[in-house]
Amino acid sequence: MLSLPFDPLQRTKAVEELVMEGLSRKYYRFRPARYYGGIATADLVGCPFLCAYCWNYARNLHPELSRDRYYSPDEVAKRLLAIMKRERFNKVRLSGAEPILGEQSFEHLHKVLEGIYKANPVCDFILETNGLLIGYEPELVHRLSQFERLAVRVSLKGFDEGSFESISGSNGKYFNLPIKGLKNLIRSGINGWPAIMYETFGPEGIGKINKTLMEYGIRPEELEIEYLEPYPFVLENLKKRSISLRTQ
Ligand code: SF4
């Protein structure tokens, strides 16, 4: 039984062991998606966080229970390239969980990127991450900088230690790591930007995170604001953690 708050660096190791087999990783879906004007999407299993609003909550709570299969980097790249070709998209992403859990999952991701760019050097790969590992291990960011058309969206879970802890389930002392990860990306010349969920920040939280971003040398106008999908289980999880939503 997972008790909150947990240490996300410990949890990421445990989760990586559950969702990786050699360089193959568990995925549960490959699909075309409407976001970013149309994008080929591979949905992963496994995340060190357990956000109250995660739409993939059950799988990320118990990745060991999912019956999804493991895919090699080559299989993932081929499936995504096939969706791009069929749908006439030029964008591709990984979603549903965290792509970077540690060294093994990073190697998997790196090989997926190599496979995609070998076949289609001009597509845009959007990496959606919670930023934890790229803040903890800057060397990973350096290795991503070889992919010129890679863009990285870092989803920030809170505007201070308390809000980070209640949303992500992780100990609040790790609040700064995703922001450091974003700074590492920008320093390495990678197109990276922060994203937040409006209803859990509100205007006051947005003001606070903008101030923190500026302290890290990140321009606040880069902040992407997304809005909550109010699935019943999401509202229930938010209620269990006593998180109130801002609507204005
Ligand atoms: S970081 Fe993303 S995938 Fe992970 S639990 Fe939070 S919302 Fe879900």
The CB-side HSE value for 245 (13 A sphere, CA atoms) comes to 17
pLDDT at 166: 96
Decide whether any atom of ligand 1 lies within 6 Å of the 47 Cβ: yes
pTM: 0.96
Which atom of ligand 1 lies nearest, measured to the CA of 130?
Answer: 1
Q: Answer for the pair 228, 234: CB distance below 8 angstroms, yes or no.
A: yes
Decide whether any atom of ligand 1 lies within 6 Å of the 54 Cβ: yes
Place of tokens 């493991």: 70
pLDDT at 23: 98
CB atoms within 10 A of CB 122: 8
pLDDT at 2: 86
pLDDT at 220: 82
Cα separation, 214 vs 10, in Å, equals 30
Mutation pick for ligand 1 pocket among 98, 168, 231 (CB with most ligand atoms within 8 Å): 98
pLDDT digits (tens), the chain, 248 positions: 789 999 999 999 999 999 999 999 999 999 999 999 999 999 999 999 999 999 999 999 999 888 899 999 999 999 999 999 999 999 999 999 999 999 999 999 999 999 999 999 999 999 999 999 999 999 999 999 999 999 999 999 999 999 999 999 999 999 999 999 999 999 999 999 999 999 999 999 999 999 999 999 998 888 999 999 999 999 999 999 999 998 77
Tell how far the Cα of 167 is from the centroid of ligand 1, in angstroms: 10
pLDDT at 150: 98
Tell how far the Cα of 188 is from the centroid of ligand 1, in angstroms: 25
SS3 for 195?
A: strand
Tokens of 31: 């699909």
pLDDT at 247: 79
Nearest CA to ligand 1 atom 8: 54
Tell how far the Cα of 142 is from the centroid of ligand 1, in angstroms: 24
Tell how far the Cα of 53 is from the centroid of ligand 1, in angstroms: 8
Tell how far the Cα of 176 is from the centroid of ligand 1, in angstroms: 17
Cα separation, 167 vs 169, in Å, equals 6
